[in-house]
Amino acid sequence: MTGGSRGIGRAIAESLARSGHAVAVNFHRNADAADDVVGSIEGAGGRAVAYGADVSDEQQVVTMFESVVADLGSVSVLINNAGITRDNLLLRMRVGDFDEVISTNLRSAFLCTRIALRGMLRAHWGRVVSIASVAGITGNPGQANYAASKAGIIGFSKSIAKEVGSRGITVNVVAPGFVATDLTDPLGAKVKEAARASIALGRFGEAREVAAAVDFLASDAASYVTGQVLAVDGGLAL
């Protein structure tokens, strides 16, 4: 899985490991955090290996998948979770900030899905689950780049689901809402309270709740679910 070293990504990696998957934990810069995830999985009796790669770079993606297949075997489940934010109002947004978000969040999903599908097509079985956001459904002020990348993931996934469904491969999206992670911790009390007031369940989500949705979509139990967007948002997008 991409972006597996912290927050929601870590919760997904650990959940998949508990379900019996050998997990390739991709990271870009934080090797220590990725190693900590691997240690946690191995300590619980699972199997995991960390792989450093910029998944917006085609050659690094190719090299990473070659290593994963050599170490862990063919990829039957792909989780596209790599993502960044570079928030600003559109008139103040730098072109570089727009391009970097699109590249990290959307181009990476294209590159990783394209190469992972080769083995899945040969096996006539596979699961692709990409992490989007409710921002990709509703939009969000100050996040035109981020919302565009997540909306792109939704359209991309629906298209691929139609392409490969006849080969036993499902392609789905999980769209988290406001989830308590180290990325949201620094937000001020007023911002958090305003966000909480717009959530039907009246609370922020937890990373484990997003991981549970991913775990379901990656399993045999979801064999007749494809092309769907599962919002794990407590009713934020209602």
Residues identified as active-site: 146
Token code pair at residue 17: 């490991």
Tokens 């097509």 correspond to 121
Q: Which amino acid is at 208?
A: R
List, in sequence order, every beta strand (DSSP E) within the chain.
Answer: 23-27, 48-52, 77-80, 126-131, 169-176, 179-180, 205-206, 229-232
Which residues have a Cβ under 8 Å from the Cβ of 43 and sit 6 or more positions away?
none
CA distances from 5 to 2, 51, 82, 83, 162 (A): 9, 10, 10, 12, 31
Q: Do 84 and 101 contact (CB within 8 A), yes or no?
A: yes
Token code pair at residue 238: 């209602």
* Long-range own/partner contacts, residues 140-148 (CB < 8 A, 24 or more apart): 141/89, 142/87, 142/88, 142/89, 143/85, 143/87, 144/90, 144/93, 144/98, 145/86, 145/93, 145/97, 145/98, 145/101, 145/102, 146/85, 146/86, 146/87, 146/101, 146/105, 148/101, 148/102
